[in-house]
Amino acid sequence: MDKDRFSILDFKRKKVSGEKITMLTAYDYPMAMIIDKAGIDAILVGDTLNMVVLGRESTVSVTMDEMIHHCKAVRRGTRRAFLIGDMPFMSFQASSEDAVRNAGRFVKEAGCDAVKLEGGREVVERIRSIVTAGIPVLGHIGLTPQSSSKLGGYKVQGKDAETAKRLMTDAADLEKAGCFAVVIECVPRELALKITKHVSIPTIGIGAGNHCDGQVLVTHDMIGLFDGFLPKFVKKYADIGNSIRE
């Protein structure tokens, strides 16, 4: 392994030092190379590839084989960044055995450094099993797109006292289960700050304000390469799609 590659220890080090963690999505070899050479800490091969690359309406229908295919391509373009594979819908929900088997595919077949799972207390046993098998896990709470229909759509989570308390508890439960960090998506910035102070693992925000220990964005949103919709929290740095059209 390259001695300069970002590691699990670097996530914790940055939280302790107050230096922000940077994370972007990539789904193919050329974008992975660009992000890696730019010095971004971590690359997430998100299940968002189902929408921004494969043209489907949501993240739900992407398969394990499709995720592995894209993770392999990203791995070939990555030298320094920490690589995380996003476990798709129904790859871990049915049983801990499924969870460990599919997480293992991300590491063994695709060369990922870790996997990401959506959910709070309901997935603690899955996370514990994967971590016990020797595979690092990034948690994900707040707006969890795979279960958005259960949450009432793509809406801000934790706006009332009851759901805010639940998210605080979920974050603590994920830490106890062995997650090395947790993504917090679409929650009020004040709640994100409380969670960040409440847990000792790093928090990675997406639409959760600037108080998290790091930030993750969908690269295609940030550079204007996907025009299906643009979340309000995304700062658009370029309009590559329009430049290509011109």
- Average pLDDT on 103-125 reads 97
CA gyration radius for the chain? Answer: 17
Query: Each residue of 125-159: pLDDT tens digit?
Result: 999 999 999 999 999 999 988 865 565 556 789 89
Estimate the crossing angle of helix 189-198 against helix 161-177, to 10 degrees: 30
Taking the whole predicted model, whether its pTM rises above 0.75 is answered as yes
Checking if the pLDDT of 200 tops 70, the result is yes
Boundaries of every domain in the chain = 8-245
- Average pLDDT on 189-197 reads 97
pLDDT band per the 50, 70, 90 thresholds, residue 234: confident
Query: Each residue of 10-64: pLDDT tens digit?
Result: 999 999 999 999 999 999 999 999 999 999 999 999 999 999 999 999 999 999 9
Whether 117 and 137 have beta carbons less than 8 Å apart is answered as: yes
Instruction: For residue 15, report the phi and psi dihedrals to the nearest 5 degrees.
Output: -65, -45
Average pLDDT score, the chain: 94
Could you give the residue numbers annotated as active site? Answer: 185
Whether 124 and 177 have beta carbons less than 8 Å apart is answered as: yes
Whether 137 and 114 have beta carbons less than 8 Å apart is answered as: yes
Domain 8-245: state its class.
alpha beta
DSSP per-residue letters across the chain? --TTS--HHHHHHHHHHTPPEEEEE--SHHHHHHHHHTT-SEEEE-TTHHHHTT--SSSTT--HHHHHHHHHHHHHT-SSSEEEEEPPTTSSSS-HHHHHHHHHHHHHTT--SEEE--BSGGGHHHHHHHHHTT--EEEEEES-GGGHHHHTSS-----SHHHHHHHHHHHHHHHHHT-SEEEEES--HHHHHHHHHH-SS-EEEESS-S-SSEEEE-HHHHTT---S---TT------HHHHHH-
Distance of alpha carbon 206 from alpha carbon 24, whole angstroms:
11
Distance of alpha carbon 167 from alpha carbon 180, whole angstroms:
17
Residue 228 confidence (pLDDT): 72
Q: Which residues contact 48 (CB under 8 A, 6 or more apart)?
A: 25, 59, 86, 145, 218
Residue 13 confidence (pLDDT): 98
Of 56, 83, 57, nearest in space to 70 by CA: 83
Look up tokens 């920490």; give the residue.
82
Residue 3 confidence (pLDDT): 66
